[in-house]
Structure 1
Amino acid sequence: MSIQILRDIRGLRVQVIHANDVEGQQLVDHLKRIGCVVETTWPPPSAYAENADLVLLSVDQEDRDTLHKLTRSHSERAPTVIAIVGYENPSTLALVLESGALAVVERPIKPFGLLTQITLARSLWLERKEQARRIRKLERKVTSMQQIQKAKAILMGSHGISEDEAYQSIRRQAMAKRISMEEMAVAIINASELLNFRPDSV
């Protein structure tokens, strides 16, 4: 995975949110030498570029309000963020934490160490993404199990059969209809709720 991250840095789509000054241009030039595809944005926008894989974000107190809006605009596909800071005071650190930055580059920006910070940040970002994927998968599995359990209880109660017989019944029906057991369970639950529906008395 580590080697792949290094390979993927070439061609990485990077949004640099930094003033258009000498330091900003040097940063852009170095990123291009690394092999990144760079887009510059200034002043700070209200949202990250939709196609950005990585954002290098200049964190300055004078842009505090704009940065608040920017860092709260995270979409489901939020990019990897690296903060660029010139001070280590509490308010600046609060902005860095709020941005969700996974690495920090100090001013004055030096080419040495930048590749390391990008690699570490991307590695952490990919790990978090994989963890989130696993959590979603587990949540779906738990939901599926709960629905199947509920459907089994319905069949056991309405037909007087055992838990295993109820499970096999759901399985057979799902196979016959070429749908998942979860979908079959939901259909059974919905049908049961419809049959047991009692309109409110007027």
Structure 2
Amino acid sequence: MNKTGVERGVAGRMQHSTPDLLRNLRNLRVMVFHPKDSDSELLVQQLQRIGCQVITMWPPLPELPDTVDLIFCAVLPDHAAVKCTWMIEQPLIPFIAIISYENPTVVDAALRMGARAVLATPIRPTGILSSLAMAKNVHAEVRDLRRRVARLEQKLLAVNQINEAKAILVRTRNMSDSEAYRAIREQAMSKRVPIEEIACAIVHANEVLSRSDT
């Protein structure tokens, strides 16, 4: 049976995805916080087969060394309340929680620690690569979304500042809205600075004058 163009495209992406995935995961510097047992041994063996550089210890370090790219950490009922500086809702590096019990306390602890993926025990080799890929992808997407939101917030702030500066010129110089914007833009062009910088200066000057009048 002949494949459609869509099917051929999907098949092509699948053929290339595995080498790309392994290349991205190989040589990761992974920290494994887990008591020494059969689960931790299997996890380390599988990570090393993937090509990761692995360091293991227990209990978790309060602070992480700069050389760590990804964390696996056991979230045990007795340690669910333990808090380290790197256990935050927006972690700087991907974090995978290893859980033995799916009770609310443990799941809530994993979420508060900033887990991007979960690996359940007893650990099986088949879930480790998936959790690595998932954690890295989710972490990258969340980081990009936060950067986008920050840029949008900055843009919104600039728009509000420009609108406030226009309103000041309209009120104090008897300008129309378009004339006020053109005046701000021309001033920015002549000084070779962003338009929001001129708007901010106008707003600041107006605030200073308003305080001196009172």
Q: Same fold (TM over 0.5)?
A: yes
Q: Given that residues 71 and 98 in structure 1 are in contact (C-alpha distance below 8 angstroms), is that contact kept between their aligned partners in structure 2?
A: no
Which secondary structure does the structure 2 equivalent of 1:108 belong to?
coil
Which secondary structure does the structure 1 equivalent of 2:81 belong to?
helix
Choose which of 38, 41, 53 in structure 2 pairs with 1:25: 41
Which residue of structure 1 aligns with residue 131 of structure 2?
117
Which residue of structure 1 aligns with residue 191 of structure 2?
177
Which residue of structure 2 aligns with residue 88 of structure 1?
102
Tell me, yes or no, if structure 1 residue 12 matches structure 2 residue 28. Answer: yes
Gaps of 5+ in 2: 1-12
Instruction: Mark the CA change 1:37 to 1:171 in structure 2 (over 3 Å): closer, same or farther.
Output: farther
Aligned identity (percent) is 38
What are the superposed Cα offsets for residues 19-46 of structure 1, whole Å, 9 maximum, x if unpaired?
2344323322321221223233321222
The residue type paired with residue 15 of structure 1 is M
Q: Tell me how far 1:14 sits from its aligned partner.
A: 1.8
Q: Tell me how far 1:102 sits from its aligned partner.
A: 2.3
What are the superposed Cα offsets for residues 129-163 of structure 1, whole Å, 9 maximum, x if unpaired?
22111111111111000000011111112211111
> Where does 1:36-185 land on structure 2 (aligned, <5 Å)?
36-66=52-82, 69-70=83-84, 73-74=87-88, 78-185=92-199
Tell me, yes or no, if structure 1 residue 189 matches structure 2 residue 203. Answer: yes
Which secondary structure does the structure 2 equivalent of 1:161 belong to?
coil
What are the superposed Cα offsets for residues 141-189 of structure 1, whole Å, 9 maximum, x if unpaired?
1100000001111111221111111111111111111211111111111
Q: Tell me how far 1:73 sits from its aligned partner.
A: 4.3
Q: Tell me how far 1:63 sits from its aligned partner.
A: 1.7
Q: Distance in 1 between matches of 2:91 and 2:104?
A: 28
TM-score, normalising length: structure 2: 0.81
Which secondary structure does the structure 2 equivalent of 1:112 belong to?
helix
Q: Given that residues 46 and 73 in structure 1 are in contact (C-alpha distance below 8 angstroms), is that contact kept between their aligned partners in structure 2?
A: no
Q: Tell me how far 1:58 sits from its aligned partner.
A: 0.5
Which secondary structure does the structure 2 equivalent of 1:82 belong to?
strand
Which residue of structure 1 aligns with residue 3 of structure 2?
none
Q: Tell me how far 1:50 sits from its aligned partner.
A: 4.2
Choose which of 42, 50, 56 in structure 2 pairs with 1:34: 50
TM-score, normalising length: structure 1: 0.85
Q: Tell me how far 1:118 sits from its aligned partner.
A: 1.1
Q: How many residues align?
A: 198
What are the superposed Cα offsets for residues 44-103 of structure 1, whole Å, 9 maximum, x if unpaired?
22244444332111111122332xx12774386522111111222232222222222222
